[in-house]
Structure 1
Amino acid sequence: MPRYGPRLEGFEYPRPVQTFAFTSQSQPLEMAYLDVAPARPNGRTAVLLHGKNFCAATWVSTIDALTAAGFRVIAPDQVGFCKSSKPSGYQYSFGQLAANTHALLDMLGIERAVIVGHSMGGMLAARYALQYPEATERLVLVNPIGLEDWKAEGVPWRSIDAWNEREMKTSFDSIRDYQRTVYYSGDWKPAYEPWVRMLGGMYAGDGRKAVAWSQALTSDMVFNQPVVYEFPRIAAPTTLFVGLKDRTAIGKDLAPPEVAKRLGDYPALGRRAAAAIPGATLVEFAELGHSPQVEDPARFNAELLKAVSAP
């Protein structure tokens, strides 16, 4: 199996990778990102925000679909993930990651964009839309996590040290088993394997400790910074995509059985979120799970283009 560096050195992205150097929390950092231009521009930009177990590269089919429709596409790796910096001391917050993303777009001269977020990126996209409403043309949430407050539901708190201990046990097999069970309802396709190798290769490489520590810090962020209570304040036109077979819930492994059983009910969570976000449109994929853009790219991309083309 592959072994990659702490910033995914050795793993090639489907498009040229660029780097945004900036200062945050009194330290120099770098955000890797893809900036893909369309052959026939429509004057609009789409920003794709990856999930916690994903990277900018995972958006490859969506990038192709959007650029073919005329969109300029920006797909960053957030600080702490993939090909971006992994500072050992950083106060991770969705507000900070949103600010980092906004600084990148400002550097690129992009004042307004369609913001698309998947999984953890959905929590970030919601925060971005709340923090920068004037810069958010449309909001698209793809199986976002954080549609429920796990702590309020009864999931016990876990320390960053405990998160780190858990992350240090990560392997190719554990990644694959988790995704098969939670993301894809027990199914597995060869198309999913490159993304397991992408993540697993970082944990297998020399930067294993730095990767695990960054993931521990960001897990703490995800668990302790819910955005679900602020959905009614989202002003941007919003489309919510939900694969109904998804059962993702952070900390579910620590929850009492009666709590764990009710967590990650995406059919119910999706409808509740769509009702909470003013004017939101809900698109359900009955036979898909956590990553509809990976499971069925053609269908997902067709629905995404409908959503971003709507008036």
Structure 2
Amino acid sequence: MTTQTDLPEMQEYTLDIGSKKIFVAETGDGPPALLLHGGGPGASGVSNYSRNIAELAKEYRVLVPDLPGYGRSSKGIDLTDPFGSLAHGIRGVLDRLGLDKAHLVGNSYGGACALRLALDTPDRVDRMVLMGPGGIGTTRALPTPGLNSLLNYYTGDGPSRLKLEKFVRDYLVFNAAQVPDSVIDARYEASIDPEVIASPPLQRPKDLRTVWRMDFTRDKRLNRLPVPTLVLWGAADKVNRPSGGRMLAERMPNCDLYEVANTGHWVQWERAGLFNRLCADFLAGRR
């Protein structure tokens, strides 16, 4: 099992993006690839991709930001357009680093961020890998139990380790026994940052216009998005429905789909060896 001590040495810095600060860790040489993490409580870039960074850094300049609202980045995002707010922040990272174009790898909330960035500015994205991205058919059916668990984390009686453990073990992964207590402990501690509690970056939308804005299947640009894309979706995903992968493959003109058996929402963590191989090959054009 990969641990934090297995990570390569990484350069860490904070970029000023408008009035916000975005933390970035990076390692490796080669074409730039940004790894964008999911939106679960206590998530951060390096922790989400702890099993992938070292392998991908053998071929790529791996850039791992904490999305706006998470980790060591500034808290608070535009909740009337969450995906657009995230995409704006990550595009700012590209600008500050002088990168005209980069690969984007996005899990869940990070996948929605990547897809929105690609739809708004396709010339900034080389290739894209999405793992169970958010925003696929979100207005077509009631939220899944996993998504409800995520959205309810900061409501009711507030955050607790028990609520976080239930989300991770019951909904995030296929095999709960794979997740060590240390992962739960670390994410819980990060989730109770007072700034995050005051303004959770992932909340239940309060306006119908926001709901529609967060459903990519209503965006006609999806039909002509030129960016080569690989979608990886756990067949047992309880957070975002696996049918979303087939929807993307049918709509996007350059989209490959790989549905991963006996895997939940956290493909890059649960099936790290498979993910690392597929991701590295796809980004290099070894299809």
TM-score bracket relative to the smaller structure: 0.7 to 0.9
- Give the letter for the 1:220 counterpart: P
User: Is 1:139 aligned to residue 104 of structure 2?
Assistant: no
User: Is 1:220 aligned to residue 208 of structure 2?
Assistant: no
- Give the letter for the 1:282 counterpart: L
- How far off is 1:14 after superposition? 7.0
Aligned sequence identity (%): 24
Write out per-residue CA displacement over residues 151-205 of structure 1, whole angstroms, 9 at most, x where no aligned residue: 44255xxxxxx968517622222111112111223523145x443223210344x
- How far off is 1:237 after superposition? 0.5
Q: 1:232 aligns with which of 223, 239, 256?
A: 223
Supply the distance in 2 between the matched residues of 1:20 and 1:167 (Cα, whole angstroms). Answer: 35
Native 8 Å contact 1:145 1:248 kept in 2 = no
- Give the letter for the 2:232 counterpart: F
User: Is 1:198 aligned to residue 186 of structure 2?
Assistant: yes
TM-score between both structures, scaled by the size of structure 1 = 0.76
Q: 2:23 aligns with which of 28, 32, 46?
A: 32
Write out per-residue CA displacement over residues 282-305 of structure 1, whole angstroms, 9 at most, x where no aligned residue: 112112111111112112101111
**Aligned counterpart, 2:70:** 81
Supply the distance in 2 between the matched residues of 1:50 and 1:229 (Cα, whole angstroms). Answer: 24
User: Is 1:127 aligned to residue 133 of structure 2?
Assistant: no
**Aligned counterpart, 2:15:** 20
Supply the distance in 2 between the matched residues of 1:199 and 1:241 (Cα, whole angstroms). Answer: 24
Native 8 Å contact 1:92 1:217 kept in 2 = no
User: Is 1:52 aligned to residue 39 of structure 2?
Assistant: yes
Supply the distance in 1 between the matched residues of 2:251 and 2:78 (Cα, whole angstroms). Answer: 35
**Aligned counterpart, 2:52:** 62
Return 271-280 or 180-189, whichever deviates more.
180-189
Supply the distance in 1 between the matched residues of 2:78 and 2:125 (Cα, whole angstroms). Answer: 30
Write out per-residue CA displacement over residues 81-126 of structure 1, whole angstroms, 9 at most, x where no aligned residue: 1111114887653222212111111111111111111011111110
Supply the distance in 2 between the matched residues of 1:84 and 1:302 (Cα, whole angstroms). Answer: 30
Supply the distance in 2 between the matched residues of 1:89 and 1:195 (Cα, whole angstroms). Answer: 29
Who wins on radius of gyration, i.e. which is larger? 1
Gaps of 5+ in 1: 1-11, 156-161, 250-263
RMSD: 2.7
TM-score between both structures, scaled by the size of structure 2 = 0.82
Supply the distance in 2 between the matched residues of 1:116 and 1:292 (Cα, whole angstroms). Answer: 12
Write out per-residue CA displacement over residues 65-88 of structure 1, whole angstroms, 9 at most, x where no aligned residue: 11112x111111122111111148
SS at match of 2:52: helix
- How far off is 1:15 after superposition? 3.2
- Give the letter for the 2:130 counterpart: L
Native 8 Å contact 2:68 2:77 kept in 1 = no
Supply the distance in 2 between the matched residues of 1:88 and 1:138 (Cα, whole angstroms). Answer: 26
Supply the distance in 2 between the matched residues of 1:285 and 1:164 (Cα, whole angstroms). Answer: 27
Supply the distance in 2 between the matched residues of 1:123 and 1:228 (Cα, whole angstroms). Answer: 12
Supply the distance in 2 between the matched residues of 1:33 and 1:125 (Cα, whole angstroms). Answer: 16
Supply the distance in 2 between the matched residues of 1:175 and 1:102 (Cα, whole angstroms). Answer: 30
Supply the distance in 2 between the matched residues of 1:97 and 1:244 (Cα, whole angstroms). Answer: 27
Supply the distance in 1 between the matched residues of 2:88 and 2:44 (Cα, whole angstroms). Answer: 19
Supply the distance in 2 between the matched residues of 1:102 and 1:88 (Cα, whole angstroms). Answer: 15
Aligned pair count?
A: 264
